[in-house]
Every structure is written in C-alpha cells, then in structure tokens.
Amino acid sequence: MNSAVIPLCVGLDGTLTPVNTLHENVMGLIRQAPSALLAIPIWLCSGKAKMKREMATRAKFDATNLPINQQLLDWLKSERATGRPIVLATAADSRIAEQVANEVSIFDEIIASDGERNLSADVKRAELVKRFGERGFDYVGNEKADEHVWRSARKAIIVGSIRQIEKARRVTEIDRAFPTVSAGPLTWLKAMRLHQWVKNVLIFLPALLAHEILQPAILLKSVLAFVAYGLCASSVYLVNDLLDLSADRRHPQKCKRALAAGLLSIRSGAIVAIVLLAISVAIALFVGWQFAAFLGGYYVLTWSYSLRLKRAALVDVMTLAGLYTIRIIAGAAATAIPVSFWLLAFSVFIFLSLGFVKRYTELDEARNANKMSTHGRGYRADDLPLLMNLGVSAGYCTILVMALYINSADSQALYRHNKPLWLVCPLLLYWISRVWLLASRGQMPDDPVVFALRDRLSLLILSLLGLIVILSI
C-alpha cells in the first residue's frame, strides 16, 4: 500500500513534546487554583477522562512555548508535504490537544480524551482501528503503553532512548526511530544550581573569623551545615522551576533550563525536590535544633520572597540581604560560636548593596528593552538613579563598619598585628565602586555574587584580603 495514503498518527506526551501535559496541568492548578487540588480525588472517581477535563478547564495551559521535538516535527512536515494525513492521537484532553495542534499547524485531525473517554493504550488502539482499520495506520509513540497501539499499526515510529527502541523492536516492526538522550548527572546538577552553593560559604565565616575553623568538631559541623543549606536551596530552586515553567519558557535564557526544556520530567523534579529537602532537614537536626530552626526560617523566608516579597519594592532587596545574613547566623548556631555585632553589620550593608546591584541590572535591562518596568517587580525604569544611590551608599557603609571594627578593641584582641587590616578598606572600596561602575555601564550580570566568583580581578582582590588577614593574625 502507498505510504502517502496511510494516516500517520502521532502521540503527544513524550513524543511530539518531551513533557507530560497532565503534569503540566497539575502545576497550573498549583499556581492558579490551588484549592482545586482537593477536588482531584473526586474527579478521579468519575474517571481519568473527567479529571483531565476538569483540570484543563480550571488551569490555563500555555502551549505557545511548549518544547517540541523539532527533529520529529520536521519529518512530520515532510510527510505531510507528500499528501499524507497527519493525525494527533493523544490521551490528553481535547482542549490541550487543540492548543498544541494550533501551535504546530500540521494536523489534519485530532483524536483525544473528551471528558468521558480516556484515550490511552487499548482505548486508543480500538479507536484508531475503528477509523483506519487493522494495519491501516502508522503510529508514532514513545512508551511501553504505546505497544498496545503498535500491535495494530502497520509500522511503528519510536521516539525514545536507544534502550527503549530496542525493547520496542521485540514486539513490532520499526519504520523509523528518533533517539532521545536521557538526562544525566550534569543535567541534574545544573537544575539543582550547584554553583549557587558557593553562597553558603558564609556559614563558615563565624568559625573562620573566630580563628576556630581548624578544630575538627567545629569544621565538621560547619561542613554539615553547608551541605544542609545547599540541599535546601536546591530543593527550592527545583520547586521554583516547576512553578515557573510557563514564564521560564518565554525567557530567552531561562527557556534552556532542564525542566522548562523538558529534559527533566515534572514528576522526577518534584520527587528529587522532596528528597533533597528531607535529607537537608535530617542533617540539620543532627547538627542541632538551633541550626535547624534557622534553616526552617531561611526556608520560610525564601518562599515568602518567591511568592510575594520579591514583588515589593525595597522589601525585596532587604529580604535578599536578610537571606545572606541568616546563613552567617546559622553558621554561628551550628558551631555555638557567638556572631559579633561587627560581622552582622558588615554583612547587612554589603549584601544590601549587592541586592541593589541585582535589581539595578534587571531594571536597566528592562529599560534597554523599552519596558517601563520589570515583570512582577515593584520598580519603574525611572527608579534607576535612586537604586544606584541607595546601593552605593550601602556599599560605602560597609567600608565604614570595617574601619570602625579595625579600630575597635575586638579587632585588637583577635589580631596581634591589626595594622595591615587597614589595607582591607581601600581594596573593598575599589571593588564596590567597580561593581557599581560596571552595573552603570550595563556590564554586570544579574547576580553580582556569581559575577564575583567568575571575575578574575574580584578573585585577585579576595586572595589579597585573605593574605592580609593571615598576616594580621
């Protein structure tokens, strides 16, 4: 039979797109109508098709930037160009299927769940056989459940890993395969933002500045506290990415994140986030209840920032400074080393300045893109001069705190030769001024902490600061 007249039926979830649209709808409910989650068991009692329809009705699904298997789509277009009918056959609700079909514009027909019938596995096979006859269609699928359909298809087209393709070859004739690459450890490490763990080095500061970091018990607790904060932060990053899928896909850089791009599934992302948080809590409790309390406060403040506080002008920057300072206090709680007034004052001002740098950079980018405000923030483009004034002032207050500390009795008690410490002031003054100079020129990335760890001059200054402290002890 001429292949041009054989309908080509295509699955949606995991095939045309790497994502699971049902899971996308769950995340949509969490964002848009969280109370509706309580009704899912009730809907499910009336059948999975009913549940999908109710969820599709209540959660706004955004198919505009949905990740698509481009290699498969290009082939489908070439097949359609020969006059071959292309059919979208999916267990997703018809409302979801229609949105996706409108975006790719290649389907001649849509067969999907309709609120009464869940079109999956044997049900899908029976419907396709009813319409096109036994062996009267080819089917593009990706998972074990698709084997039911392939048994009645003329030929199978598979989207999946090499291992999945070999398994499918045992039960059906494969006409074409589109291999996919499974997410590896590097993908997970990027999704967990492992590079952001460097911010948790602040936990070591109380022990380091008290000159007790080399005591084995204190070093061990500091390391455990560092890991606990890192795992907690990674859990938050994953959940944030799950909640921001639609927004991330509209962003020119964030669309490449593993969850937004469909490299990692929503289910696996949620499971890993829960596991990371559980391990973090277990480590925190082992370190001590006081440390665990500060970790809990950090977790609550992080979510408060993500869900609400980041939209409040000035409050957002103060919250960012507080999140950094809490790390220092938590490090003190983990090691039972009192945190000094000087360290707290220094950290509040320097992180307040860096927080303003972050907002200034975002707002400057928005202005250059001809936007009067940043999406979801409480600032306008004409706030830029004020943000710079506030940020520079906070940064210079950091130098003042350092100067007062060097001249204090506390400094003289810890450092036998504290005169070299005065060199810290001009070095910090230069670094803070340079950060703001680069920000005003539009040459600062949106995270000044990450910038400092990648900038050679910043690393040189950090090394000189460390050498000065060692010489002063």
Q: What is the CATH number of the domain that holds 152?
A: 3.40.50.1000
> Band of the pLDDT at 372, cuts 50, 70, 90?
low
Residue 225 shares a structural domain with residue 321: yes
Residue 361 shares a structural domain with residue 400: yes
With vertex at residue 14, the alpha carbon angle to CA 8 and CA 16, rounded to the nearest 5 degrees, is: 40
Query: Does residue 373 surpass a pLDDT of 60?
Result: no
Predicted TM-score of the model (pTM): 0.86
CA dihedral 222, 227, 232, 236 (to 10 degrees): 120
Predicted confidence at residue 307, as pLDDT, reads 79
Greater confidence, 165 or 193?
193
Note down the domain range covering 208: 185-472
The whole-number average pLDDT for the span 60-64 is: 88
- Structure confidence by residue, pLDDT tens digits, 257-302: 999 999 999 999 999 999 999 999 999 999 999 999 999 999 999 9
135/152 Cα distance (integer angstroms) = 5
Residue 171 shares a structural domain with residue 196: no
197/183 Cα distance (integer angstroms) = 21
Residue 225 shares a structural domain with residue 334: yes
Residue 159 shares a structural domain with residue 202: no
Residue 292 shares a structural domain with residue 434: yes
Mean pLDDT over each residue of the chain, to the nearest integer: 90
Query: Does residue 363 surpass a pLDDT of 80?
Result: yes
Residue 159 shares a structural domain with residue 60: yes
- Structure confidence by residue, pLDDT tens digits, 101-136: 999 999 999 999 999 999 988 999 999 999 999 999
Predicted confidence at residue 36, as pLDDT, reads 87
Residue 149 shares a structural domain with residue 227: no
- Structure confidence by residue, pLDDT tens digits, 381-416: 889 999 999 999 999 999 999 999 999 988 888 888
Domain's final residue, options 128, 156, 179: 179
Domain's final residue, options 121, 149, 179: 179
Number of domains in the chain: 2
Predicted confidence at residue 47, as pLDDT, reads 92
Predicted confidence at residue 374, as pLDDT, reads 53
Query: Does residue 1 surpass a pLDDT of 60?
Result: no
Residue 105 shares a structural domain with residue 192: no
> Band of the pLDDT at 84, cuts 50, 70, 90?
very high
Closest C-alpha among 317, 357, 356 to residue 443? 357
405/461 Cα distance (integer angstroms) = 20
Residue 226 shares a structural domain with residue 119: no
- The CATH number for 212's domain is 1.10.600
Predicted confidence at residue 4, as pLDDT, reads 62
As a whole number of Å, the CA-based R_g of the chain is 28
Domain's final residue, options 163, 179, 195: 179
The bridge status of strand 86-93 relative to strand 138-141 is unpaired
The whole-number average pLDDT for the span 61-70 is: 91
- Structure confidence by residue, pLDDT tens digits, 407-465: 998 888 888 888 899 999 999 999 999 999 999 998 887 688 888 888 999 999 999 99
- Structure confidence by residue, pLDDT tens digits, 154-190: 999 999 888 778 877 777 788 899 988 878 899 999 9
Residue 274 shares a structural domain with residue 352: yes
Residue 166 shares a structural domain with residue 302: no
